Amino acid sequence: MEPTLYPAYADFWKRFLAALIDGVLISIVGGIIMIPFMGIIGFGAASEMQFQNENYYAQNPEEAMTMAAGIFAGIFIIGIVFFILQWLYCALMESSAKQATLGKMALGIKVTDLYGKQISFGRATGRYFAKLISGAILYIGYIMAAFTEKKQALHDMLAQTLVVEK
């Protein structure tokens, strides 16, 4: 069965603006969630510090290393939580009945399979992780959407999806 040629593929700039909107929204929500965790990390680090004459000093290098390791571990955990938040947001929204993230909805575009049908959560997850490849090669995978016949980015090709006008 030959894939359906959808008459109105979403252009590069609509996709770019949708991604920008989604990025802002995810950053706001992520920040609201992460700020309390960053505060906990900061208070934990501060409780390990000792002060003398308003200047910080560590009693010994082992204490300083323990404190630094705790801070880096906290930052790493925050990064993982943020990554999971982004993945779930994209995959759940794009595999929903709306077929779009909030940014895509705002611009009147949606994600479909090659036949114009709703994609599964698994395919949306594959598409999300394929975006890592699109970005890893100097964002060329994203820029491809401006030049391909069906306006597909590399991650769309890998996941066999299209981004189309509603």
Question: pTM of this prediction?
Answer: 0.83
- Structure tokens of 65? 């290393």
C-alpha span between 100 and 93 (Å, rounded): 6
Sequence-distant (6+) residues with CB within 8 A of 163 are 9, 10, 15, 104, 109, 110, 111, 112, 145, 151, 152, 156
69-85 residue pLDDT tens: 877 888 898 889 889 99
125 with 131: CB under 8 angstroms?
Answer: no
- Structure tokens of 56? 């910080």
128-157 residue pLDDT tens: 999 999 999 999 999 999 999 999 999 999
87-144 residue pLDDT tens: 999 999 999 999 999 999 999 999 999 999 999 999 999 999 999 999 999 999 999 9
Q: Indicate the average pLDDT of the chain.
A: 88
C-alpha span between 81 and 75 (Å, rounded): 10
Q: First and final CA of the chain: distance in angstroms?
A: 23
Q: For position 66, what pLDDT does the model report?
A: 77
